[in-house]
Every structure is written in structure tokens, then in C-alpha cells.
Amino acid sequence: MATIGKYCKPYKLSRLRQFTGWTEKAENARTIRIEVDCEIVEVPRELTDDNYVYLHRDFTVTDGIFIDENIIFNDVTPEWIAFCTDVLGLNLT
């Protein structure tokens, strides 16, 4: 069963992509259903700058509110934490 974190904040993906060390696992994006050759299939959605994603208390980023699903960024470094607090203004206290 999916776990909802104690805190997450939505951000436009374009803001997070401003971080110089940003790398995303687009293949982990939420799935959408599309029709291919008269058959419905599920594929990861394409992440665009206008999509909202969720920054969690542990500084991971997911494509949804659940902390343990659809993780698109989890390379948590001191530089990433500084970006979140200094540039994004994230305050966890």
C-alpha cells in the first residue's frame, strides 16, 4: 500500500529543473492510458515544465503525493537541500 508522507509541497517541474544537478527518472512518472493499435495500454506520462510534482520532507521528488511511488528524483545532496531551502524557499521547521 502506498504511503503518504507527512509533508509534501507541489512545484512546477520547470522550477526544479533549474537546479544544476537535476536528473529525473522520467520512466517513473505516473502512468496514463492511451490507445495503441486499438488496444488500451498504460505508459508513463511525458513530464513537461508545466507539470506539478511533489517535493517531500526527505527532499525526494515524486509524481504524486505518495512518498514511495513514482519517484522521479532522489539524488539528495547538500547542494540539492541548499537549492530547496535557499532558492525555492522551502522551510521545514
> According to the model, what pLDDT value does residue 3 have?
80
DSSP category for residue 66: B
Q: Which of 16, 18, 76 is nearest to 52 (CA)?
A: 16
Q: How many Å apart are CA 30 and CA 70, to the nearest integer?
A: 6
- Alpha carbons within 13 angstroms on the beta-carbon side of residue 42 total 5
What pTM did the predictor assign?
0.87
Q: Which of 80, 87, 84, 86 is nearest to 8 (CA)?
A: 84
> According to the model, what pLDDT value does residue 43 have?
84
Residue 27 — very low, low, confident or very high, per pLDDT cuts 50/70/90? very high
Q: Residue ranges of the domains in the chain? A: 8-87
More confident residue, 52 or 31: 52
Letter for the amino acid at 66?
Answer: F
